[in-house]
Amino acid sequence: MDELRELYQEVILDHSRNPRNCRHPGDATCQARGDNPLCGDQITVYLKVDDQGVVTDAAFEGRGCAISMASASMMTDLVKGKTEAAAKDLFERFHQMCTTDDAASAEGTELEKLQVLSGVRDYPMRVKCATLPWHAMSAALAGEEEVTTEK
C-alpha cells in the first residue's frame, strides 16, 4: 500500500477529483483530442495562443484515470503564460522525468510541480496515462486535430 501511495499522492488525488481548467473555452485558437486506444481514454485539450505565440489560456475536457486527469489539470495550469516553444520544452522534460531514472533534478524548476507524477516510472503501463494530455497539447500546437498514444 505504501508504494501505491507514492504513485497516488494526495496532490494527484486532489487534482483528479477537482481538476483545474476542466472546461471548453469558446475562444480557443486550437484544440486536439488525445486517444489512448489501449484503454479508450480520451482527452481534448483547448489552447488560446496569441499573436506572439504565447499560450494565454489552456483547458481540457475528457475522461480518464486519476493519473491522466491530474496530469491534464496540472499541465493546463502550467502552460498558461508560456510561449509555444517553452510549453513544448516542458513536455520534453516531463516525458523524460516519467521515463528515465536519471532525469536531471527538478528542484527549483517548474518541473518540480510535476514531480508528483514521476511515480509512473515504476509503472510502465501507466506512463501513457500521464503523457496523454501532453501529447494532445503538443498536437494542438502543431495544428493537428487528434493524436494517439499508439503510433
Partner 1 sequence: MSGVAEASAVASPPYDVEKIRRDFPILSRRVHGKPLVFLDSAASAQKPRQVIETVKQVYEEDYANVHRGAYELSARATARYEGARETIRAFLNAEKSSEIIFTRNATEGINLVANSYGGAFLGAGDEVIVSELEHHSNIIPWQLLRDRQGLVLKVVPITDDGEFRLEDLKALITPRTKLVAVAHMSNALGTVLPVREIVRLAHAAGAKVLLDGAQAAAHQRVDVREIGCDFYVFSGHKLYGPSGIGVLYGRQELLQEMPPFMGGGEMIGTVTFEKSTWARLPHKFEAGTPAIAQAIGLGAAIDYVSELGLDRIAAHENALLNYATQQLASIPGLRIYGTAPGKAGVISFDMDCAHAHDLSTVVDRAGVAVRAGHHCAQPLMAKFGVAATARASLGLYNNKADIDALVSALDHVRELFGR
Cell of 105: 533534478
**Binding pattern to partner 1, positions 65-104, x when CB under 8 A?**
xxx-------------------------------------
CB of 41 to partner 1, least distance (A): 6
* Residues 127-146 contacting partner 1, CB under 8 A: 129
In this complex, which beta carbon is closest to partner 1, that of residue 1 or of residue 108? 1
d(CA 93, CA 38): 24
Question: Of 126, 67, 66, 127, whose CA–CA distance to 96 is shortest?
Answer: 127
Q: H or E segment at 13?
A: helix 10-17
Q: Does residue number 126 form part of the binding site for partner 1 (CB under 8 A)?
A: yes
d(CA 106, CA 108): 6
Cell of 79: 502552460
CB of 18 to partner 1, least distance (A): 11
Cell of 85: 516553444
User: Which residues of the shown chain bind partner 1 in the complex (CB under 8 A)?
Assistant: 1, 3-5, 7-8, 13, 17, 38-42, 63-67, 123, 125-126, 129
